[in-house]
Chain A
Amino acid sequence: MPDTFHEQIRTALDNPTLQMALDGNAERRLKALNQAFATLPENREALRQRAHAVRAHTIAHLDHYLDQFIANAQANGLIVHQAVNAQEAVGIVLQIARGAHSKVVAKSKSMVSEEIHLNHALEAAGFNPVETDLGEYIIQLRGEPPAHIITPAVHLTRTQVGKTFAEKLDIPFTEDIPTLTATARKVLRRTFLEAGLGLSGVNFGVAETGTLTLVTNEGNGRMCTTLPPLHVALMGIERLVPTLDDLALMLYLLPRSATGQKLSVYTSLIHSPRRPGELDGPDERHLVLVDNGRRAMRQSPLMEGLYCIRCGACLNACPVFREIGGHAYQAVDGRITPYPGPIGSVVSPGLFGVPEFGHLARASSLCGACKEACPVDIDLPKLLLRVRAAGADLEGYKKTSGLSTQDKAGTQPSVKLRSHVPLGMRLSLRGFAWIASSPALFSMAQRLAGFFSRIISPRSEWLRLPRFTGWGYSKDFPRPTTRPFHERFATLAAVPSANEYRAIPAQPTGQFEPAAETKPVSHEALVDRFCEELTVLGGAARRCTVNELAGGLLEDLNDLGITALQAWDEEHFPAGLIPALRLGGILVQATPDPTLRAGLTGALAGIAETGTLVLPGGGGRPQTASLLPEIHFAVLRQTDLVQTLVEALRLPGLRDFPTIVLVSGPSRTADIEMTLTIGVHGPRELRVFIV
């Protein structure tokens, strides 16, 4: 066991701020997750099993779906690259970045970029990569790696964030979370507008349509993929689903498991770069598919680890993560893995080498809370045990499996192939295995234990073992008996069957409930549900007739003192709306302008169960109208409402839009102390007129 790992554990346990933050994270996240799952139309367990089956099928036929995905993405106009390892991936990104007009790289969250250490490489090549997810931005300012795959700054308090901002951004110190968030919005807005390259990850690639799916709350993901002239998406080759229906299933599970939301604020479906005549979107979109150990892992006993959809639920459920936090998950040489927690203790050794990261799997009580929390039912305890088996016998394992035993960068193994089982434990268990395979020896060992424990502790029935044993660190041990049960059994008097006992029919232990039927619902009920959900998300809904629409909008605009807005082309609204606004003195333009305070869009559809707007891009529908302004007005026809996400993703012709974004409420973050703050990068207000 590397000493640095133990040191990290002790440091984490002795850090009261971290302990408080981690306790808060665990409790709030699990509560939110349970509440969110309670809102599912279907039984959670049934959904998990379906999701597991989809992921298992995809990974089993990875090359098939990868080929299909690449072909479709190329047909959509994406430039697709494939990288075998981190070095290649970095090389590809640098090559693309050199063609950008500016050195500023706006980055939205990407775990793959952490995995390949992209920021370092970009900086070394003279670029200025800026993390734009609030949590990532905070830790980038502090020069730290993420401490959690979903909430990277989970380990920090508002005071720490305030100090960092005061130091690095030259603002007066404040602990006020909305002020801190607004500061980040202001600073990063400049980044988005200046950046020559936008970098993003990919949550899911859809094979049948070549769709890149990106899920964010703050709006930074949309900024990075809409504003800079170049967009590069980094994606692990395993992050695929076959169909849009499968995507809907995953989107039922991912936000609920990650943040307790029914749907994240922004779910972007990206197909193609800007087309001729369009007002926004990048000129080029590149997709970099990264292997970096995934194909080898797929051939190994850890394959199931590739089913992961990176929701972080297992981290939040893990009692060990709750004690030590993400930064404690270090390689033998002290490198921090981007993938901590239960899944990280499988994926890190699986991708980057068992010799370097296998010991992480030993820091688990195998309690199974991770498996229970996993939305795709990955058998994490089983995989952790497999990592341990590999780590206990590295030489043997190297010969018999495809598991990596050397660094994927192609360097020589950085550590000696030595068993991860501590020497004392290794010797004891070898002895124990020998003894426990022989009843005579076992019985004799028990006698000796009973005898010697009485010499050590003649009076007390408890033993105080020395600290180095591990057990003695904080616990006493019961004194072994001198008359084990196997010697007593023969002498036990038979107890008569209790004739008065009553047999009560056992309660059913199964937890399956039938899936709820999807009943046809009236438009009226859909509108009610949509309004209710949108209100919960912090948006506002107003019903009106087509004739009342212009008046209502003008009233709002006048109240807000707004005289100009960015809007979709006239044809996307009820006839006469835009002329009426113009007549009312409003300057209406389609061209993006960061100084405009309001944006006006239509909607392709609305999803009642989540209060979501489906906003396509292209064809006179600038995405920036729902992104750059502070206030987003949307006009939704009530006949365009559907009940579920599945129905929305089945709408005909979705693939023909260059991008589609599903908007669920105003932009939000909970990256500082998990306190919900509205309005980060996207609009602070969302007002929907339902006609």
Chain B
Amino acid sequence: MSTTIQLFVTCIIDMLYPEVGEAVVKVLQRAGVTVEFPAGQTCCGQPAFNAGMRAQARPIAMHTIRVFEKTQGHVIVPSGSCAAMIRHGYPELFAEDEEWLPRARLLAERTFELTEYLVDQLGVTDLGARFPGKLTYHASCHLLRDLGVNSQPRALLSGVREAELVELPYTTECCGFGGVFSVEHPEISTAMLERKIANIEASEAPLVVSCDGGCITNINGGLRRQGKPQRAVHIAEILAQADNER
């Protein structure tokens, strides 16, 4: 009897990294889960919420709640900040709305970030993945501090065969993304990103693994602009590298 989950792929992965979405599906299926993808899903509404535009964030959140209300089972989000938005942002957004608050809470309760779900709910830390090479791990802010998820992705990466996991210096420091912050305050965002890039270089790993599409876009955007060889990748891309693949 296999478990069925609902995938909320997030707008960033949908539009910028569809191959990450494919890797997420593969990882979940390898963990023995049936993946459903509710049609009509768009964005969680975090950009408007973070900008302070709650009147604009609410209709997007309502849309997302409606899409997943029609489904059953856990909602899995391969991004720490989007999962945190649903778990903590939605109840805040509808705090004074008698109709929508319970609906928001119901969705919040069944929503999990990908690695959190794999490790805490399924009890899986070894997916038979194989990745020859050095990796380092960037602890994304919302994942780490808002969801309290840190040991889970690390345990999953430790389970990857042939991968050498090295510690990223100051891994818990923000990469400077912060959503709308990165475009509203590019100067500060840049200064923060430079510190992150210097630490990535110091780790000597060619790949930095993250569980958030926002951090990946930010870190890669800076690495690419500066002509650096390192890249940020989503954890699912590593976990999907299995040795029985043809």
Contact = CB atoms under 8 A, between A and B. Distances in A.
A498 interface: yes
A480 interface: yes
Interface stretch (B105-113, B173-181, B200-208): B173-181
B191 A498 contact: no
Given A449-B15, A497-B29, A506 B155 contact: yes
Of B30, B150, B195, B244, which is in contact with the most chain A CB atoms at under 10 Å from its CB?
B30
Interface stretch (A159-167, A363-371, A574-582): A363-371
Interface string B214-236: 00011011101100000000000
A500 B63 CA distance: 39
A473 B190 contact: yes
Interface string A431-445: 011011111001000
Nearest to B96: A400
A13 interface: yes
A503 B122 contact: yes
B184 A437 contact: no
A79 interface: no
B188 interface: yes
Given A385-B50, A498-B128, A425 B29 contact: no
A216 to B, nearest CB: 32
A334 interface: no
A319 B123 CA distance: 35
Interface stretch (A83-91, A195-203, A483-491, A622-630): A483-491
Contact of B14 (A433, A438, A446): A446
B185 A9 contact: yes
B48 A478 contact: no
A365 B52 CA distance: 13
B176 A319 contact: yes
Interface stretch (A129-137, A235-243, A388-396, A631-639): A388-396
A433 B46 CA distance: 10
Interface string B25-62: 11001111000010111110101111111111101101
A419 to B, nearest CB: 8
B92 interface: yes
B16 interface: yes
Contact of B40 (A363, A433, A439, A475): A439
Contact of A485 (B13, B32, B56, B141): B13
Interface string B1-22: 0100000010101111110011
Contacts of A371: 145
B101 interface: no
Contacts of B189: 365, 474
Contacts of B40: 439
A478 B14 CA distance: 13
A391 B50 CA distance: 12
A485 B144 CA distance: 26
B14 A364 contact: no
A489 B52 contact: no
A363 B92 CA distance: 21
Contacts of B221: 471, 475-478
A422 interface: yes
Nearest to A422: B184
Given A425-B51, A489-B25, A507 B18 contact: no
Contact of A504 (B45, B125, B224): B125
A9 B54 CA distance: 27
Interface in A443-487: 446, 449-450, 462, 464, 469-471, 473-478, 480-481, 483-486
Contacts of A425: 51, 180, 183-184
A366 B14 contact: no
A666 B242 CA distance: 63
Query: Residue among B43, B186, B222 with the most chain A CB within 10 A?
Result: B186
B126 interface: yes
B50 A509 contact: no
A385 B60 contact: no
B72 interface: no
Contacts of B180: 425, 429
A320 interface: yes
A583 interface: no
B229 to A, nearest CB: 15
Nearest to A26: B173
B151 interface: yes
Contact of B141 (A323, A367, A437, A476): A367
B102 interface: no
Contact of A480 (B15, B122, B195): B15
Contacts of B162: none
B124 interface: yes
B141 A365 contact: yes
- Chain A CB count within 10 A is highest, among B148, B177, B185, B186, for B185
A644 to B, nearest CB: 30
A425 B176 CA distance: 18
Nearest to A461: B224
A488 to B, nearest CB: 6
A597 interface: no
Nearest to B183: A470
B126 A504 contact: yes
A324 interface: yes
B146 interface: yes
B48 A324 contact: no
A462 B225 CA distance: 9
B210 interface: no
A421 B60 contact: no
A489 B21 contact: yes
A439 B188 contact: no
A362 interface: yes
A440 to B, nearest CB: 9
Interface in A271-291: none
A485 B18 contact: yes
Contact of B42 (A436, A471, A473): A436
A88 B89 CA distance: 40
A1 interface: yes
Given A365-B178, A433-B60, A496-B29, A13 B48 contact: no
A422 B225 CA distance: 25
A362 B22 contact: no
A366 B181 contact: yes
Contact of A471 (B32, B63, B128, B182): B182
B77 interface: no
Contacts of B218: 475
Contacts of A398: none
A388 B127 CA distance: 42
Contacts of B146: 368, 381
Contacts of B220: 476, 478
Given A365-B174, A503-B123, A506-B155, A439 B57 contact: no
A372 B242 CA distance: 37
Contacts of B30: 495-498, 501
A374 to B, nearest CB: 11
A423 to B, nearest CB: 12
Contact of B15 (A368, A420, A429, A481): A481
Contact of B18 (A391, A481, A500): A481
25 contacts: A319-B195, A365-B179, A366-B50, A369-B172, A372-B145, A389-B53, A389-B54, A392-B54, A393-B52, A421-B51, A425-B51, A425-B184, A433-B56, A436-B63, A437-B60, A446-B14, A470-B182, A476-B221, A488-B18, A488-B22, A494-B29, A503-B123, A504-B123, A505-B123, A506-B155
Given A319-B195, A473-B190, A506-B152, 8 more contacts: A421-B53, A425-B51, A425-B183, A429-B180, A432-B48, A471-B182, A481-B15, A488-B18
Interface of B: 2, 9, 11, 13-18, 21-22, 25-26, 29-32, 37, 39-43, 45, 47-57, 59-60, 62-63, 88, 92, 119-120, 122-128, 141-142, 144-146, 148-152, 155, 159, 172-174, 176-193, 195, 217-218, 220-222, 224-225, 242, 244
Kindly list the 10 A-B residue pairs having the minimum CB-CB distance in the complex, ordered from nearest: A365-B178, A470-B183, A388-B52, A475-B221, A392-B52, A485-B21, A368-B145, A473-B186, A367-B174, A433-B56
